[in-house]
Amino acid sequence: MKAGIVSLLLLLLTCTHGLQRGKDYFKEKVCNEYNILGETDFRSISLVINSRKYSNATFEQIISLVNDMVDLAKKCCTAGADPDCYENESTALSEKSCRPDAPFPRHPGIAGCCTEQGLARKLCLAALKHPSKEFPTYLEPSNEEICDAFKKDPRGFEERFLVEYSSDHSYAPLPILLNSTRNYLSAVRTCCASTQNNICFLKERLQHKPAQAFTHLSNKACALYALLGKNKTTVSYLIKFTQQTPSLSFENARNLAGETSEILSKCCDSLEENCFQNELKLHIAHICNTACGGNERLRTCCSSKDDVGKYLCIYSLPWDKHSQVPQVPSSVDEGACGEDGELDIYRNIYDVARLYTRAPEALLITLYSASQTATSDCCGLPDPKACFAEKDLKTIAPLHALIEKGNEICGEYSDHTYVEFLKRLRANALTLLPPGTVDAEDQVSALVEQRTSYVTKCCHLNAPPTYCGIQVKDPVPTICFLADCIENKS
């Protein structure tokens, strides 16, 4: 499974240029791929690619789809196949995909694609992709279970692993994902044949740990990029860099964030084997040159021996405890209507992040969106000042309050042991209920549970963005880990 070969397959599955070049282009690519790889590797790569596309599908749905794709290639890609075979069969496959009872993965976009015909429909189906799973579902079995399952049915074990691992890492760049699955399966083959398989697994895991961690990390970073797009990804990293190292100047933080976002735009969909590794070299040098002065832990990361090690270390640094600015930054106002309006908003987010270094990023991103909405609604009006004042009152100020509370509760969570944190949370929740509440115990338990769930998942850098609320649509998010939310409910 060479990357160059993989790239061919991917092209034929996703490349929209095919529309201009016509259907033969696809046939040629698929068949080329099939003939070069052979059936087994073609099947493996198809499993990985479809599990990435349909990360929410069941194993059986993926297998049905891949079975049909392999059958198509087997039937139509041989030397003597009828010239119409590929076109007819792939049309039949796309028709089958459009049937409501199809055994294939489900996707909300399928119905829309099925209103198209011919090549346009196939391209539309090929471009569908599920959003990322924010919480992985694959649990690695014990060594003994791995080898039992592998010995019983080697191919079945491999296929299940390919599907489960790929759907958990559906946004990791394909070459990185393939490398990881290849490493893992090769370790299983070697170690299950070894008489000392525990020692063997230990050794293999140690050796591949950086590559596995990198797969995990690139998956998270690219999923964020896919969710937020380029501009908001820049904002997201502006927040991360600032909350990690609040002494960083605005210019440096913004440059580093812009650089990260640029790298993601280049590498997340790249089929180049070492895109990330190559791009990260310079970026890490910039981080280490500009940010180390104000961050002791970062300095330690920068002394790691290789770039991937440095990056993994930097990425997992916690947020800084100490805020830098003495007073609360103001909201954006009519000043942001100028040419550099976007920059004003960035600077405002930077100021807020520097003050509230432990506020969940999701809340700050919501502030960014609200500020952007304010400028687009208010600038150009006869009285932008009044408009901004109203926006401030209605959406921005409540967000500031929410961010302040988020900072406070995440600070509590970070500063205390979990047991102590729970105790304080419970005591605090009790004070919020009106005296004489009948089922106070139940209400308090429900609240504590709801908040701890949010806090444990969201009170750190690189938290899962959708769960933690980046996509909150309302101008004032109703994330219920804060006191006022309880008050509204009771």
Ligand X SMILES: *[C@@H]1O[C@H](CO)[C@@H](O)[C@H](O)[C@H]1NC(C)=O
Report in angstroms how near the CB of residue 421 gets to ligand X at its nearest: 31
Report in angstroms how near the CB of residue 26 gets to ligand X at its nearest: 16
Nearest to 6 by CA among 220, 211, 266, 181: 181
What is the spatial distance between Cα 155 and Cα 157, in angstroms, rounded to a whole number?
5
Give whichever of 41 and 484 is closer to ligand X, judged by the CB atom.
41
Give whichever of 210 and 411 is closer to ligand X, judged by the CB atom.
210
Give whichever of 2 and 423 is closer to ligand X, judged by the CB atom.
2
Q: What is the CA radius of gyration of the chain?
A: 26
Report in angstroms how near the CB of residue 232 gets to ligand X at its nearest: 8
In one-letter notation, the amino acid at residue 33 is: E
Nearest to 357 by CA among 311, 312, 408: 408
Report in angstroms how near the CB of residue 414 gets to ligand X at its nearest: 32
Give whichever of 85 and 432 is closer to ligand X, judged by the CB atom.
85
Give whichever of 177 and 459 is closer to ligand X, judged by the CB atom.
177
Residue nearest to ligand X (CB): 211
Give whichever of 162 and 355 is closer to ligand X, judged by the CB atom.
162
Contact (Cβ atoms closer than 8 angstroms) between residue 223 and residue 132:
yes
DSSP line for 390-426: HHIIIIIHHHHHHHHHHHHHHHHHHHS-HHHHHHHHH
Residue 239: Cβ-neighbour burial (10 angstroms; 0-12, 13-18, 19+): buried
Report in angstroms how near the CB of residue 311 gets to ligand X at its nearest: 12
Report in angstroms how near the CB of residue 203 gets to ligand X at its nearest: 12
Tokens encoding 134: 């924010």
CA angle 286, 225, 368 (to 5 degrees): 85
Report in angstroms how near the CB of residue 220 gets to ligand X at its nearest: 16
Give whichever of 256 and 455 is closer to ligand X, judged by the CB atom.
256
* 151 φ/ψ angles, rounded to the nearest 5 degrees: -70, -35
Tokens encoding 330: 């103001």
Residue 487: Cβ-neighbour burial (10 angstroms; 0-12, 13-18, 19+): exposed
Binding site for ligand X (CB under 6 A): 56, 82, 84-85, 88, 130-131, 175-176, 179, 183, 208, 211, 231, 273-274, 342
